[in-house]
Structure 1
Amino acid sequence: MDANALVNTKEIGHEEWLQARRKGIGGSDAAAIVGLDRYKSAFDVYADKLGLKPEEPDNEAMRQGRDLEAYVAERFIEATGKKVRRRNPMLQHPEYPWMIANIDRWVVGENAGLECKTTSVLNRAKFAQGEYPANYYVQCMHYMAVTGADRWYLAVLVLNRSFHVFTIERDEAEIEALINAEKDFWENHVLKGIPPAPDGKESTSGLIKQLFPEAKEREEMALFGYEDKIQRYLELNEQVKQLTEARDALKQELQLALGQAEIGRARGYVVEWKNQVRQTLDTARLKTEQAEIYKQYLKPAQTVRTFKIVEV
């Protein structure tokens, strides 16, 4: 293993670990930087490295992933006959110190590592077909770049359904491209404090709202030079409306064809229009007839910023 040991994660607390993570780009950041993470954007990574976003709260999926890591590693040993060991240090690329890695396991007797994943039944189909998400691939390639490994094993537990092992071989061209992308991101965005271009992802929108939750009343900002972008936004907005109407017209035509039928079949397709029972609360009646109870359960008022463009 060629990597340097940046810090021993067993000897530091959670806050120190967070600070160490902000000193470089980790495996879970890499896919977002190259646009291959469905849930995280390059803007997310940028804000995280500069300490601009609040720490992501722990959730059940994250907790189960940590708790089941040892189990997944044991299943890998059972399935392959290979031995693995923990690597507690946060690793650092010997030439590019901003490339860091917290690896799950190192494979004994090989120049290889192991990434342990736990996922939901919703992702079962892609694994059963011998496929895995692109962000898993990028993460493993990042680890190979940092450690100099020849290959990386990917062990995936699909909860209550199946277990899969994949082998990802080192690809020098892929690693070089990834290093260049990460280098550009770190040197031209993080170090210079220049955010990457917005990408339209929901996570980016949510982060921008977190960074700027309230407007200063009556404060104005000159946007001269943005006229082309404003015009393009309005054009795209109109196209979205037209496409939405065209899509809904096709939906209506299919609904008319189905009539009272719940399921329709065509070559290669199944169309469903099923019954769903929903209950809603009559808030207007509750407010009128049980005003005190209504007030007790009102959530605190929140400031929400609305965005619109008006031609003048």
Structure 2
Amino acid sequence: MSWLDEALRDMTQRMDVAIRAALSPEPRAGELMRPERLLAAMQHGTLNGGKRLRPLLMSECAAAFGRADDGVLVAAAALECLHSYSLVHDDLPAMDDDDLRRGQPTVHKAFDEATAILAGDSLLTLAFDLIAEPSVHPDAAVRLRLSQDLARAAGVGGMAGGQMLDLQAEHRTLGEEEIRTLQAMKTGALLRYACEAGARLGNASPEDVARLRRYGEVIGLAFQLADDLLDLEATPEVMGKATGKDAEAGKATLVSLYGADRTRQILAGLVEEATTLVAGLGPAGERLAGIAAFVAFRSH
């Protein structure tokens, strides 16, 4: 899908510009100064590659309802800062203890653990600074809803809570529903948010917001299934990070429950559902269907 490769490259460039602007050395109103080392660590954690899938999903969901301006990019940059914070913290020795991220040293390796913690903290708070920008949406009530939804997707009932469940799941046998809940929180919450928020940015109807929310849930499950499959089968060179860590840690996954062949069948069904959900949304809907296929069947 050359169009998707081009779209991801374009989104990467636009996100890099937006994030560099947000991480400029000049203090924003209300700030006293910005420590150079902390900014460098934040930049290392956000500008070291990555697919920029979440910003692309938000942008395409907004475009499906006629919104395609720089304010959408600011909201997408907020989401990417929050996503990057989670990766910086997940890589820490107390969590997943990873030395590589996207083929580069993780933040705590490139700097130190204390700086990595502060960089993650700062990226998290910067996300809410950005989502409150007037350019994101002219209606302050919409910006407030976007901020609240982001907090819930990222916090105790979302991504952070999912990470806690994941840590507790080591060397335990989990059932299918427990694994699905864990993964919907840890990985799916921000992907769901990207799609739902994109619809809200485009002033979609409540019915269409719900439809894009469900599309995001499907994408989130497909992403995690594909990721677990890659962790089982791909090499560290292809992935740009260590693989086989789930099995080593004794973590239960749906892939370990179903097996690789059944997992691929489930992924095909998820792509079909996602395609149905975005049917009728014009060119943006066609692109969203293509993104679903990419998420499910990617090789890295």
Query: Whose strand fraction is larger, Structure 1's or Structure 2's?
Result: 1
Q: Could you tell me the TM-score, scaled by structure 2's length?
A: 0.28
Query: Whose helix fraction is larger, Structure 1's or Structure 2's?
Result: 2
Q: Could you tell me the TM-score, scaled by structure 1's length?
A: 0.27
The structure with the largest alpha-carbon Rg is 1
